[in-house]
Amino acid sequence: MAKILIAEDERDIRELIEVTLTVYAGHEVIKASDGQEAVELAPTVLPDLIMMDVRMPRMTGYQACAALKKIDSVKDIPVVFLSAKGQDSEIEEGIEVGAYDYILKPFAPDDLAARVDEILLKFKKRASDERDNH
């Protein structure tokens, strides 16, 4: 089970993601309603993964990701963007600010759970490989 911080301003989508990741995938979910709240919560909860919508009030997902990457305690936590916009320029911007991956909305709950598990597995393997190489 992983601890996942979700930043999504639309309550219905936030709740759908929470149910998907807790019920279907067995993860613990911490919810934030915008990017600013995610930046404030991340250092205290130290999640295994941060999932953020791109367009949110107070602080966009891009701004929040850039801010998180400047905080030593959370800078290595993978950030995954959730967005209805799949243009290459948006995906590139997300990767430039430090995102690990991009998941497009709408998504089927079982597909989301599988993608999250795949990302967590990849990231744990990468972190383990990096430790072994030092």
Q: Where are the domains of the chain?
A: 3-132
H helix and E strand count, the chain: 5, 5
How is domain 3-132 classified at the architecture level of CATH?
3-Layer(aba) Sandwich (3.40)
For the chain, where are the E strands, in sequence order?
Answer: 3-7, 28-32, 49-53, 79-83, 101-104
Lowest model confidence (mean pLDDT) among 60-64, 74-78, 125-129:
125-129
Sequence-distant (6+) residues with CB within 8 A of 83 are 53, 54, 55, 61, 90, 94, 102, 103, 104, 105
Using a pLDDT cut of 90, give the percent of the chain over it: 69
Angle at 61 between CA 66 and CA 127, to 5 degrees: 60
Res 128: pLDDT = 66
Is the separation of the CB atoms in 120 and 49 below 8 Å?
Answer: yes
d(CA 52, CA 131): 27
- Of 47 and 83, the structure prediction assigns the larger pLDDT to 47
Has residue 121 got a pLDDT over 70? yes
Is the separation of the CB atoms in 68 and 56 below 8 Å?
Answer: no
* Mean per-residue pLDDT, 97-124: 90
Is the separation of the CB atoms in 112 and 82 below 8 Å?
Answer: no
What pLDDT band is residue 126 in, cutting at 50, 70 and 90?
Answer: low
pLDDT in tens, 12-44: 999 999 999 999 899 999 999 999 999 999 999
Has residue 115 got a pLDDT over 80? yes
